[in-house]
């Protein structure tokens, strides 16, 4: 009797999965590598959160079929909304649109192209890499898992609160509308999912309200070689700066903390690594001691020379892959409450914690001179709680219980 074929999985991703670089790409890579152990995978990449021509070498090692779908333009309705110059007209029109703005590039022709690509394919399971891709998952006739990562509605409410703190009323109103639209879509589509993954306990708690069972799968970080103690004094910030919470974080750090640090340590340098920065942020970073590196494929050399890593996140959900990555390298970390959310790292043991500019500045100065013990403790915690193998087994346990049976 011949053995049954392996089950087949359709993986819908918002960015090309990878083992390094962009944090979202790394989370997609975490799930892709897990599923590849037990499933034959068709990977559909909708590059809403990354370049359409991103390196696919990692992905091809884990899939049998791969397609990157071109996202040309936006749907007509959203295009008309964006032509409205008056925010008093544009924001109510967007609220009535009923969908998050990121989904505007998922047009009807693109849906038709995707449906043609999966036609005549039989899948035992569908995995969707973010909530805003759920309309595509509904086109496949198979049990469905979605990795929410974070609660998008909650994220936009936090972004709105941050915009209000900075006196940006129009941006806050738009973010409120994004939150309402995201919540509407989640209420409509999440009940059709068999299981939901989230990156943190707080996100899992809020997502439970939509019906399907929710499991926490935190982000992970592979264990790199422990780099030598760096020479000089360099602070490192890593993050995709097209993502509003990251842009807000480094803006806050440069405005509120950096002048104090430079006054205390005139030779201190700040390395900023991450693509997608808006022009205003790039101008703000043109200050003495700040070096802008843009997007980098490999971060090993930056962690190797970093005396401290800062994670001054003030909003957003999920868990911070870059925080875990810095900890895996054994680098001393200073983080806000939001910056350390969703990880097993413990304040004052694995990193220094501060939420206001004065304490954050003082904490950075402290780890620059005596932070090695925090780096060693953080590396040990990541080894114990955030290694890929154990969490990949958890992913496969859920997937195996949900996937439809394989037939000859």
- Does residue 353 lie within any of the structural domains? yes
Mean pLDDT in residue range 348-372: 92
Which residues form the domain of 117? Answer: 8-220+388-402
Residues 398 and 380 in one domain: no
Residues 210 and 245 in one domain: no
Per-residue pLDDT of 237-247, as tens digits, reads: 998 888 888 88
| Residue indicated by tokens 């910056």 | 339
**CA nearest 123: which of 149, 145, 103, 107?**
145
Residues 373 and 293 in one domain: yes
**In the prediction, which pLDDT does 244 show?**
84
**CA nearest 187: which of 126, 150, 134, 127?**
134
Angle between helices 372-385 and 321-328 in degrees, nearest 10: 110
Residues 216 and 294 in one domain: no
Note the pTM of the prediction, 2 decimals: 0.89
Give dist(CA 214, CA 91) in Å, integer. 32
Residues 210 and 242 in one domain: no
Per-residue pLDDT of 92-122, as tens digits, reads: 999 999 999 999 999 999 999 999 999 999 9
- Does residue 1 lie within any of the structural domains? no
- Does residue 295 lie within any of the structural domains? yes
309's CB contacts (< 8 A; 6+ apart) are 235, 236, 237, 238, 303, 322, 323, 326, 331, 332, 333, 334
Give dist(CA 349, CA 366) in Å, integer. 14
Which CATH number characterizes residue 254's domain?
3.40.50.2000
Residue 14 above 60 pLDDT?
Answer: yes
Tell me the pLDDT band of 320, cut-offs 50, 70 and 90: confident
Asked if residues 252 and 355 have their Cβ atoms less than 8 Å apart, the reply is no
Chain mean pLDDT for the chain: 91
Residues paired with residue 235 on neighbouring β-strands, in sequence order: 270, 308
Split into its structural domains, the chain has a count of 2
What's the gap between Cα 45 and its chain centre? Answer: 16
Strand order in the sheet with 269-273: 290-294, 269-273, 234-238, 308-311, 333-335, 352-353
The encoded tokens of residue 396 equal 């496969």
Give dist(CA 229, CA 331) in Å, integer. 9
- Does residue 321 lie within any of the structural domains? yes
- Does residue 155 lie within any of the structural domains? yes
| Residue indicated by tokens 């590598």 | 33
- Does residue 227 lie within any of the structural domains? no
CA atoms within 13 A on the CB side of 345: 41
Give dist(CA 364, CA 318) in Å, integer. 24
Residues 176 and 40 in one domain: yes
**CA nearest 290: which of 335, 257, 322, 324?**
257
Residues 338 and 267 in one domain: yes
- Does residue 174 lie within any of the structural domains? yes
Tell me the pLDDT band of 317, cut-offs 50, 70 and 90: low
Tell me the pLDDT band of 319, cut-offs 50, 70 and 90: low
**CA nearest 316: which of 149, 156, 172, 102?**
156
**In the prediction, which pLDDT does 114 show?**
97
Residues 71 and 162 in one domain: yes
What's the Cα-to-Cα distance from 288 to each of 122, 170, 248, 255, 363, rounded to whole Å?
58, 32, 20, 13, 21
Per-residue pLDDT of 151-205, as tens digits, reads: 999 989 988 988 898 888 999 999 999 999 999 999 999 999 999 999 988 899 9
Per-residue pLDDT of 258-290, as tens digits, reads: 999 999 999 999 999 988 888 889 898 888 899
Residues 154 and 241 in one domain: no
- Does residue 52 lie within any of the structural domains? yes
Residues 276 and 310 in one domain: yes
Tell me the pLDDT band of 2, cut-offs 50, 70 and 90: low
Residues 196 and 264 in one domain: no
Residues 207 and 294 in one domain: no
């Amino acid at each position: 009797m011949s053995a049954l074929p392996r089950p087949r999985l359709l993986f819908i991703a918002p960015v090309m999965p990878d083992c390094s670089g962009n944090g979202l790409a790394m989370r997609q890579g975490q799930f892709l590598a897990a599923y590849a152990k037990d499933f034959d995978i068709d990977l559909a990449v909708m590059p809403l959160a990354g370049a359409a021509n991103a390196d696919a070498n990692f992905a091809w090692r884990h899939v049998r079929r791969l397609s990157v779908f071109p996202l040309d333009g936006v749907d007509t309705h959203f295009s008309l909304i964006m032509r409205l110059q008056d925010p008093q007209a544009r924001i109510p029109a967007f609220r009535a649109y009923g969908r998050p703005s990121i989904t505007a590039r998922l047009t009807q022709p693109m849906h038709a192209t995707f449906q043609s690509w999966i036609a005549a394919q039989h899948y035992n399971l569908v995995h969707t890499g973010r909530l805003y891709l759920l309309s595509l998952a509904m086109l496949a006739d198979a049990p469905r898992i979605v990795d929410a990562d974070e609660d998008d509605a909650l994220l936009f409410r936090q972004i709105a609160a941050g915009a209000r703190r900075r006196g940006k009323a129009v941006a806050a109103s738009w973010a409120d509308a994004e939150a309402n639209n995201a919540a509407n879509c989640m209420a409509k589509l999440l009940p059709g999912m068999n299981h939901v993954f989230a990156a943190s306990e707080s996100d899992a708690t809020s997502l439970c309200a939509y019906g399907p069972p929710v499991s926490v799968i935190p982000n992970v970080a592979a264990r790199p070689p422990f780099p030598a103690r760096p020479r000089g004094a360099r602070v490192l910030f890593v993050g995709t700066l097209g993502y509003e919470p990251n842009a807000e974080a480094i803006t806050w750090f440069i405005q509120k903390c950096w002048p104090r640090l430079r006054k205390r340590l005139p030779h201190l340098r700040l390395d900023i690594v991450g693509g997608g920065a808006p022009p205003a942020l790039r101008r703000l970073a043109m200050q003495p001691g700040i070096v802008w590196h843009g997007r980098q494929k490999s971060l090993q050399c930056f962690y190797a020379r970093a005396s401290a890593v800062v994670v001054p996140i003030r909003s957003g959900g999920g868990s911070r892959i870059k925080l875990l990555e810095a900890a895996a390298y054994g680098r001393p970390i200073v983080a806000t409450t939001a910056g350390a959310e969703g990880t097993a790292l413990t304040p004052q043991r694995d990193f220094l914690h501060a939420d206001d500019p004065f304490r954050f500045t003082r904490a950075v100065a402290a780890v620059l001179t005596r932070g090695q013990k925090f780096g060693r403790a953080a590396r040990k915690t990541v080894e114990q709680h955030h290694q890929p193998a154990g969490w990949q087994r958890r992913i496969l346990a859920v997937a195996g219980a949900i996937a439809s049976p394989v037939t000859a």
